[in-house]
Structure 1
């Protein structure tokens, strides 16, 4: 593990271990790239403004300026119509490890570029004392 600098994306060691266990489940290339590029930190040391698994965020689309509340989850818990976004999705992979104020960028399945600013972190498990979810 190396020391992170401002702007780098972070991931808790437990989220990294759990996501790496899913590598055999045909992880999308975006998620593999994300996992390989994030700096790892112990759960108790993750800053409260970083998107971790099961974090609830408010994002604002850069084009439409519409805001949406999303919860980053594992594929089996995904319910996109309710705002539960799988980390396997392009949106989910782009949110993982980002900080409030960052811009998440991804491509839709048909190749359209999308971007949204993370305007608020409404809930982060680690910030509430949950280091194992």
Structure 2
């Protein structure tokens, strides 16, 4: 797994995601993949998150390598998912975004036994950068 980029996750995000996973009656392959990703994350205090890293409730511009289309989505918890401009942490692309920094890319399994490489172009909004630690 050394080919995967380093990821950084806030301790607050980690606690909240783990609490949601623990409440699930059974884990899907996508959630198991997210757990594996979280196992290799560097965990830091929310105040120590670099400004260019995707955290929960961040709005991020990204694309899939090999595709010119650029997406702009806010990474949210499943219970906060309300419209198409958001993506759940438990969706394959949502899991891939968490913890990546601008300029990093990550190959991630997608539905139908495919995989795509997600590249982070810009973190437009990050709660930690804005001083908002309790969302």
Q: TM-score, normalised by structure 2?
A: 0.86
Q: Residue 123 of structure 2 corresponds to which residue in structure 1? A: 121
Contact 2:96 2:118 in 1 (8 A): no
Cα distance in 1, alignment partners of residues 74 and 106 from structure 2: 14
Q: How does 1:35-74 map to 2 (within 5 A)?
A: 35-74=38-77
Separation in 2, partners of 1:104, 1:69: 17
Q: 1:106: Cα distance to partner?
A: 1.8
**Alpha-carbon RMSD:** 1.4
Secondary structure at 2:100 match in 1: coil
Mapping 1:1-133, distance limit 5 Å: 7-24=5-22, 25=24, 26-27=26-27, 28-79=31-82, 82-133=84-135
| 1:34 Cα deviation after fit | 1.6
Number of residues paired by the alignment? 126
| C-alpha distance after superposition, 1:95-131 (max 9, x if no partner) | 1100000113222220122122111000000000101
1:7-53 Cα deviation digits (max 9, x unpaired): 52111011111111112224511111122111110011110011000
The CA distance in 2 between the partners of 1:106 and 1:77, in whole Å, is 23
* 1:128 match: secondary structure: coil
Q: Which runs of 5+ in 1 are unaligned?
A: 1-6
Flag as ranges the 4+ runs of structure 1 deviating above 6 A. Answer: none
| Alpha-carbon displacement from aligned partner over 1:44-83 (angstroms, at most 9, x marks no partner) | 111001100000000122122110101111112225x622
